[in-house]
Structure 1
Amino acid sequence: MPSSSRPPEPGSSVGSDRRLAPVQPSPPPPEIGVGPWEGPWPEGDQWDPELLEQGDRRNVVDAYRYWRHDAIVADLDTRRHDFHVAVENWGHDFNIGSVIRTANAMGAAAFHIVGRRRWNRRGAMVTDRYQHEHHHRDATTLAQWARAEGLTLLGVDNLPGSVPLETFDLPRRCVLVFGQEGPGLSEAMRAECAAVLHIEQFGSTRSINAGAAAAVAMHAWVRRHVFDQQV
């Protein structure tokens, strides 16, 4: 004779007398930035009256809170570094935005888009607005511009014949060139570069994300030409 069964009581686990803990609601995410300015407004042309009144929720460091956009760009222009960043844009790669965001964080002089003029800006998180943007039709036009400016083109890709980034003496005035995720640097771009550098890896994967590789390469420049000079 089959035994009778009843549905489990609400809040209990099947086959056990233990009750499930109630689900706690997630706390609301913290507000980004700062609210309206408190107290008398500061004096100076760099301040934005609208931000002072309504608050500043932008993705900027604290030193630039409540500043006008053009004032921030002008201040950055007084201390940008001597390296540029170039990205080939053939497939609307999302990683381009990540590269540009890091270029902003590392103080790159400017960024260059090679190929299609329109590029995927989502990953940049609006940081491209604080950088100088240049467009070049192809690798040849980028190389011509770089020569005129006295800049060395350096590709970053793990290709046969590439040399380790870790032991390469990065020149101060250079353009670090990155290909899109998957195909990497085009053959035309490789031919224009004075050298192609790779990042040493020690695991099983063949390559790392293009945005991550760009961050490593830019920070290598910063360590070589900023921190080494402070020692």
Structure 2
Amino acid sequence: MPPSDSRRPAPQAAARATEQRLVGLNACRAAFARRPQDLRKLWLTATRQRELRDMLAWCVRQRIGYRIVEPAELEKLSGSAHHEGVCAAFRKPAAPSLDALLAALPAGPALLLWLEGVGNPHNLGAVLRSAAHFGAAGVLVPADEGASLSPAVLRVAEGGAEAVPVLAIADRARALTMLRAAGFVLAASTPHRAQSLYAAALPQRLALALGAEGGGLPEAFLAQAELRLRIPGSGAVESLNVSAAAAVLAADWFRRHVPAATD
């Protein structure tokens, strides 16, 4: 018998490496609606059978494993108490490169969000939800920050992660060069030495950068921005939560540049 290769991952571990586990009704249904062929396994409580009958029927036709489980078992399987009665394993989608994303964009208005230091799952998920709602073409996250699309992020995104790709940027300088070559203007969200959002001219092709709670965007990154934008308010607090700020900024860009926004 040949010696076993301890470096080779076990079949189950290898499968998990290519798998994305989703929890929450909207997150699971959005993934199934866009890519049913990627569904690998489904767990749900009895109370969700009626709402998920299309997924169950697909599992039967495609011979995909599914189980009806108790809420306590589903919490263990999903790793979340906020599973909403369903957990699904999908094949991980391949994220496009920035080169491919920019090449595929049609001419005209386009919005990208660039996040620096935004690792909190609830903030990242909420940003993805807003990005999808306001038609962003992608969300850029520096690769060295290790932000991941965890089950918590995907649940909070409520399906937004299916509509908006998240790209890991390994070389910030190269990415900025590529964005500018594609006609994008870099705008930094900051309450310091910035124009009012409502008085500023927002370009059609905008890369909107937002930073982490507390620290905000690094000064070196702010120096790269052609625009510095602040969201006017009462002054009772210094600034908005990053996910709320992303929604306000994206909404104003959408209002100005997407004709359907005024319908």
How does the TM-score come out when normalised to structure 1? 0.62
**Matching residue's letter, 2:132:** N
Higher-strand-fraction structure: 2
Deviation at 1:168, TM superposition (A): 1.1
Distance 1:191 1:204, change over 3 A: same
User: Aligned letter for 1:137?
Assistant: A
Of the candidates 46, 50, 64, which is equivalent to residue 58 of structure 2?
50
From 34, 45, 51, the counterpart of 1:34: 51
Residues 1:96 and 2:124 aligned together: yes
1:135–1:48 distance in 2 versus 1, CA, 3 Å: farther
Deviation at 1:132, TM superposition (A): 2.1
Q: What does the per-residue CA deviation read over 1:201-220, in whole Å, with 9 as the maximum and x for residues that have no partner? A: 11411111111001000000
Instruction: Please name the residue that 2:206 is paired with.
Output: 174
The residue that corresponds to 2:137 in the other structure is: 109
| Deviation (angstroms), 1:106 | 1.3
Aligned residue number for residue 189 of structure 2: 156
More helix by share: 2
- Could you tell me which of 161, 168, 185 is aligned with 2:217? 185
Q: Secondary structure at the match of 2:128?
A: helix
Cα deviation, residue 119, structure 1: 1.0
Unpaired runs of 5+ residues, structure 2, are 1-46, 67-91, 94-103
The answer on 1:217 being equivalent to 2:249 is yes
- CA distance 1:125–1:201, change in 2 (3 Å): same
Offset at residue 34 of structure 1 (A): 3.4
Secondary structure, in 3 states, of the residue corresponding to 2:203?
Answer: coil
**CA RMSD of the aligned region, Å?**
3.7
Of 125-134 and 162-171, the range deviating more from structure 2? 125-134
CA contact (8 A) 1:96 1:180 kept: no
Q: Which residue of 1 aligns with 2:164?
A: 131
What percentage of aligned pairs have identical amino acids? 25
Once structures 1 and 2 are overlaid, which stretch shifts more, 107-116 or 212-221? 107-116
Determine if contact 1:88/1:115 at 8 Å carries over to the other structure. no
Distance 1:116 1:198 in 2: 27
In structure 1, what residue type is equivalent to 2:251?
H
Which residue number corresponds to residue 10 of structure 2? none
- 1:81–1:109: 8 Å Cα contact kept in structure 2? no
Distance 1:32 1:96, change over 3 A: farther
Closer, same or farther: CA 198–135 of 1 in aligned 2, 3 Å: same
Paired positions, count: 174
Residue identity opposite 1:156 in structure 2: S
- Are the structure 2 counterparts of residues 138 and 202 from structure 1 closer, same or farther at C-alpha, using a change threshold of 3 Å? farther
User: Residue 139 of structure 2 contacts residue 167 of structure 2 at CA under 8 Å; is this kept in 1?
Assistant: yes
CA gap 1:230/1:215 in 2 versus in 1, 3 angstroms: closer
Shift of 1:193: 0.7
Could you tell me how far 1:31 is from its partner in structure 2?
5.5
Matched AA of 2:58: E
CA contact (8 A) 2:255 2:262 kept: no
**How far has the Cα of 1:141 moved from its partner?**
3.2
Structure 2 counterpart of 1:82: 110
Letter in 1 for 2:113: V
Where does residue 258 of structure 2 map in the other structure?
226
Larger of the two Rg values belongs to structure? 1
Secondary structure of 1:116's partner?
A: helix
Cα offset for 1:131? 1.9
Partner Cα distance (1:32, 1:145) in 2: 47
- On the 8 A contact 1:153/1:193 being kept in 2, the answer is yes
Letter in 1 for 2:119: H
> 1:166-194 CA deviation, whole Å, 9 max, x = no partner?
11121111111111111111112101110
2:191 alignment partner, SS class: coil
